[in-house]
């Protein structure tokens, strides 16, 4: 007799199959939906990352766009070779200085405009014009006088239209040569004490004249003209003059290719500043043009052989100064006849006697653009906004170009190479994006920022990696499971601390307190290790009954007071070491013996603070990897007679190495991208110094500091995006390398 199973009537096979089929279909549908959602999410993440990359590249690309020009105006002015030309900032009015005087012209048709002032030359003719980048200059006349003038453009808006009205302002003439000798060369500067001018006649004799202005209590200004003796130590025909606007130095170019310097700081005792320098590009070439870049720190030299170079004054000793060649530019095929400097940046134009114009940039030493030859070009001008070029020929033909050159100071060399900046003794890596004057030379080297990023990451990992990995190894292999369940969440909660809080604590509390105990900090590893070994010896000498009081896996609880006591002992010993061996002040000892300066917010502070932020990430991932090693591997190793320590080192650690390596690389990426800690815990100074006692500036912190103040679309704005692109590429390369190495490690140990 067949007994029916208990628990209710049996379900027919057809119904059971239907229920199973229905459940399977629902599971397949759910799996399909989940697969599509996960795929869609992954595609969205990849698309977002690519979109960010495209946005960054879009902001970076204009930095490297080549400059371009477009012809704008082509008209004819009065005939006769011009001595000087200029243009207003809106490129609507031009002025021309010729032998007959100064004239203004409307650029749209070349029509003459009223002078807006009186220029009384009498029977004299203009024989030369002083060099300079602004519209305040001086005219040398054929009767031995020098006539200071200034060109000014008044701008008004009438009925929605902009009207530019030129004004010529003429100062009192200065008689330089009483016998009426024509002024052949002229250098002119307006100093706080009054105008200073150096002139040369046909006899190659330099005359230095100063107009000393004094103001009375009634605001009445009186002028006194004083002439000073200039030594006759300059040999050769004088062909060019240039004086800085401070009136400190006069540079004299000769037909022999030499440049002499006269020190004018004591005008009553003018001195020839050392030996001349051979500045010509080729033997036999003479100096044909001298001009200062904006700021009057860099001298541009053009010669009859077509060479163009920049020079700077450097100190050779306490007082000695000498000219040093900084950059050499693309040569011209003909004699340099004019050099015109920009009023906005360190760019300048050079014109040769064949009508070829080069656009150069003084900081980078690069020739940015070469314009097509202009027939019989004799003078040129750089628009005040550096967005236009004007050239005038000997027969009066005028040609202008609209210039598009937004980021002339940016090249790969200026971003990553050494540049010789004004005031520096040698080429250097420098980041200094802003300054306090209009003639500031921007310095956009990203190398110090990249160096600081890697330096901060290095010191953070030196602190975090040993601590996190050894902690993960102990927690996963030796700690009691009940205790591990409490310790691991606490460590993971550390990762939730905002980095701005860690940076605040590190900058305002940790840094000043660490400064007091630096010798003790360096003694801590050794003192703590000694204390732990001593505790181990004492523990092993304890009776077995006493040791049984501590459960296996709880031993480290006994080490907590040992470690704290070792830290206190290290601090006390550090104070003694400082007093006995470090001259009582370790900061003074570091500076006098090792040549190292100590900054309160330094790499040591960052190592502790950022290492504290990185430890939870490395610890958690490494501990999960070590705990995921199959239990049978441990059991087999222990069964073969290996100790727990040998099992952990030779079996568990190699098997978990792919995950451990991933943990370290994720921690590395966290440290590279950290912003607030390195911003608040360092001096935020872009210096390249490996010393642990100095600060640095990381790229992420630099972006956070300077991006809010950077003008949208400006050079600084786009260079910060270059830094962001570098961070993106750095993390991408590290993650890719980490994944490749992880796969190789996984393949190697997969058979364990």
Over residues 680-727, the pLDDT tens digits come to 988 888 989 888 999 999 999 999 999 998 999 999 999 999 999 999
Output phi, psi for 434, to 5 deg: -135, 160
> 246: closest CA among 305, 317, 304, 188?
188
Q: What is the pLDDT of residue 12?
A: 61
Cα–Cα nearest to 654, from 394, 487, 473, 457: 473
Please choose, from the candidates 740, 741, 603, 742, the residue with its C-alpha nearest in 3D space to the C-alpha of residue 685: 603
**What region does 488 belong to: left with phi over 0, alpha with psi -120 to 50, or beta?**
alpha
The answer to whether 427 and 420 are in contact (CB under 8 A) is: yes
Look at residue 8 in the predicted model and tell me its pLDDT.
52
Tokens of 499: 């980095």
> What CA–CA distances, in Å, run from 655 to 28, 481, 642, 648?
35, 21, 16, 10
Among candidate residues 314, 326, 308, 405, the one with its CA nearest the CA of residue 364: 326
What's the rounded Cα separation, in Å, for the pair 44 and 38?
10
pLDDT of residue 523: 94
Q: Which residues contact 390 (CB under 8 A, 6 or more apart)?
A: 85, 86, 87, 91, 94, 380, 381, 383, 398, 399, 400
User: pLDDT below 50 — which residues of the chain?
Assistant: 1-2
pLDDT score, position 332: 95
Please say whether the beta carbons of 212 and 194 come within 8 A.
Answer: yes
Which CATH entry fits the domain spanning 447-748: 3.40.640.10, 3.30.420.40, 3.40.50.11440, 1.10.3720.10? 1.10.3720.10
pLDDT score at 557: 84
Where b means 16+ CB within 10 Å and e means fewer, 230-258 reads: beeebebebbbbbbbbebbbbbbbbbbbb
CB within 8 Å of 385: residues ≥ 6 apart = 89, 344
Contact 712, 739 (CB under 8 A): no
Q: How many CB atoms sit inside 10 A of residue 348's CB?
A: 26
Within 8 A by CB and 6+ apart from 366, the residues are 329, 360, 411
Query: How would DSSP label each residue in 387-424?
Result: SEEEEEETTSEEEEEEEE-S-TT--HHHHHS-B--TT-
Degrees, nearest 5: CA angle 584-585-587: 160
Per-residue pLDDT, 16: 58
DSSP letter assigned to residue 429 = -
Beta pairing partners, 290: 301
Distance (Å, whole) CA 729 – CA 727: 5
Place of tokens 């790969």: 412
pLDDT at 396: 85
Nearest to 415 by CA among 439, 440, 448: 448
Q: Over the stretch 318-364, which tens digit does the pLDDT of each residue have? A: 557 788 999 999 999 999 999 999 999 999 999 999 999 999 999 99
pLDDT value for 2: 47
Q: Got the DSSP string for 531-594? A: HHHHHHHHHHHS-HHHHTTSPTT-THHHHHHHHHHHHHHHHHHHHHHHHHHSTT-HHHHIIIII
Q: Which residue blocks in 418-555 are alpha helix, DSSP H?
A: 447-477, 481-494, 499-505, 511-516, 518-541, 544-547
Q: Which two tokens stand for residue 200?
A: 């040369």
Q: Are 440 and 434 in contact (CB under 8 A)?
A: yes
Give the span between the Cα atoms of 682 and 457, in whole angstroms. 13
List Cα–Cα distances, 66 to 62, 358, 407, 419, in angstroms. 9, 14, 9, 20
Q: Residue 1: its pLDDT value, please? A: 44
> What is residue 649's DSSP assignment?
I
- Distance between CA atoms of 620 and 185, rounded to whole angstroms? 78
Cβ–Cβ < 8 Å for 173, 147: yes
Distance CA 190, CA 624 (A): 75
**Nearby residues of 457 by Cβ (< 8 Å), 6 or more positions away:** 668, 671, 672
């Amino acid at each position: 007799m067949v007994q029916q199973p208990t628990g209710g009537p049996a379900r027919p096979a057809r119904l059971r199959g239907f229920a199973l089929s229905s459940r399977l279909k629902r599971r397949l549908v759910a799996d399909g939906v989940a697969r599509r959602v996960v795929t869609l999410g992954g595609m969205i993440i990849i698309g977002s990352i690519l979109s960010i990359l495209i946005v960054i590249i879009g902001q970076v690309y204009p930095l490297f766009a080549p400059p371009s020009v477009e012809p704008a105006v082509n008209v004819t002015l009065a005939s006769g070779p011009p001595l000087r030309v200029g243009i207003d900032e809106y490129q609507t009015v031009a002025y021309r200085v010729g032998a007959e005087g100064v004239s203004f012209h409307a650029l749209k048709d070349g029509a003459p405009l009223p002078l807006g002032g009186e220029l009384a030359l009498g029977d004299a003719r203009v024989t030369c014009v002083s060099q300079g980048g602004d519209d305040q200059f001086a005219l040398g006349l054929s009767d031995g006088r020098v006539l200071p003038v200034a060109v000014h453009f008044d701008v008004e808006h009438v009925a929605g239209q902009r009207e530019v009205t030129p004004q010529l302002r003429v100062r009192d003439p200065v008689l330089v040569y009483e016998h009426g000798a024509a002024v052949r060369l002229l250098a002119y500067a307006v100093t706080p004490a009054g105008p200073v001018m150096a002139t040369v006649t046909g006899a190659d004799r330099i005359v230095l004249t100063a107009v000393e202005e004094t103001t009375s209590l009634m605001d009445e200004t009186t002028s006194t003209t004083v002439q000073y003796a200039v030594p006759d130590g300059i040999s050769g025909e004088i062909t060019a003059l240039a004086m800085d606007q401070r009136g400190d130095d006069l540079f004299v170019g000769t037909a022999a290719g030499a440049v002499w310097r006269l020190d004018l700081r004591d005008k009553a005792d003018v001195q020839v500043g050392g030996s001349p320098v051979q500045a010509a590009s080729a033997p036999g070439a003479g100096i044909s043009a001298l001009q200062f870049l904006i700021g009057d720190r860099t001298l541009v030299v053009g010669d009859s052989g077509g060479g163009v170079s920049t020079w700077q004054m450097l100190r050779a000793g306490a007082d000695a100064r000498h000219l040093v060649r900084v950059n050499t530019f693309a040569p011209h095929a003909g004699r340099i006849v004019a050099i015109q400097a920009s009023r906005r940046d360190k760019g300048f134009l050079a014109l040769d006697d064949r009508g070829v114009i080069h656009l150069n940039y003084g900081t980078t030493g690069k020739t940015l653009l070469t314009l097509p030859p202009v027939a019989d070009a004799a003078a040129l001008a750089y628009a005040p906004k550096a967005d236009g070029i004007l050239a005038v020929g000997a027969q009066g033909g005028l040609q202008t170009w609209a210039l598009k050159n937004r980021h002339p100071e940016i090249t790969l060399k200026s971003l990553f190479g050494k540049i010789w900046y004004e005031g520096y003794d040698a080429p250097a890596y420098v980041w200094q994006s802003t300054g306090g004057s209009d003639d500031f030379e921007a310095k956009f080297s990203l190398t110090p920022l990249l160096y600081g990023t890697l330096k901060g990451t290095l010191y953070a990992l030196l602190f975090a990696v040993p601590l996190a990995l050894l902690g993960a190894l102990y927690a996963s292999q030796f700690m009691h499971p009940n205790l591990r369940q409490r310790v691991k969440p606490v460590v993971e909660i550390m990762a939730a601390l905002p980095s701005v809080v860690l940076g605040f604590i590190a900058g305002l509390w940790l840094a000043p307190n660490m400064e007091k105990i630096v010798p003790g900090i360096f003694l801590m590893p050794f003192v703590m290790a000694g204390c732990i070994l001593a505790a181990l010896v004492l523990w092993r000498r304890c009776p077995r009954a006493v040791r049984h009081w501590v459960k296996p896996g709880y031993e480290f609880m006994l080490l907590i007071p040992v470690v704290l006591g070792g830290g206190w002992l290290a601090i006390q010993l550090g104070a003694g070491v400082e007093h006995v061996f470090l001259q009582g002040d370790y900061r003074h000892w570091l500076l006098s013996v090792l040549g190292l300066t100590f900054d309160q917010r330094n790499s040591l502070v960052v190592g502790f603070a950022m290492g504290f932020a990185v430890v939870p990430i490395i610890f958690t991932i490494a501990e999960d990897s070590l705990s995921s090693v199959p239990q049978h591997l441990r059991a087999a190793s222990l069964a073969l007679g290996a100790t727990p320590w040998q099992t952990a080192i030779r079996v568990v650690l190699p098997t978990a190495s792919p995950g451990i390596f991933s943990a370290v690389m994720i921690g590395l990426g966290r440290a590279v991208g950290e912003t607030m800690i390195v911003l608040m815990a360092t001096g935020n100074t872009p210096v390249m110094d490996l010393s642990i006692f100095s600060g640095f500036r990381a790229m992420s912190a630099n972006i956070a500091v300077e991006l809010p103040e950077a003008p949208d679309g400006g050079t600084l704005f786009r260079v910060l995006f270059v830094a962001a692109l570098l961070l993106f590429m750095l993390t991408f390369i590290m993650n890719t390398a980490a994944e490749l190495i992880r796969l190789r490690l996984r393949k190697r140990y997969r058979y364990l």
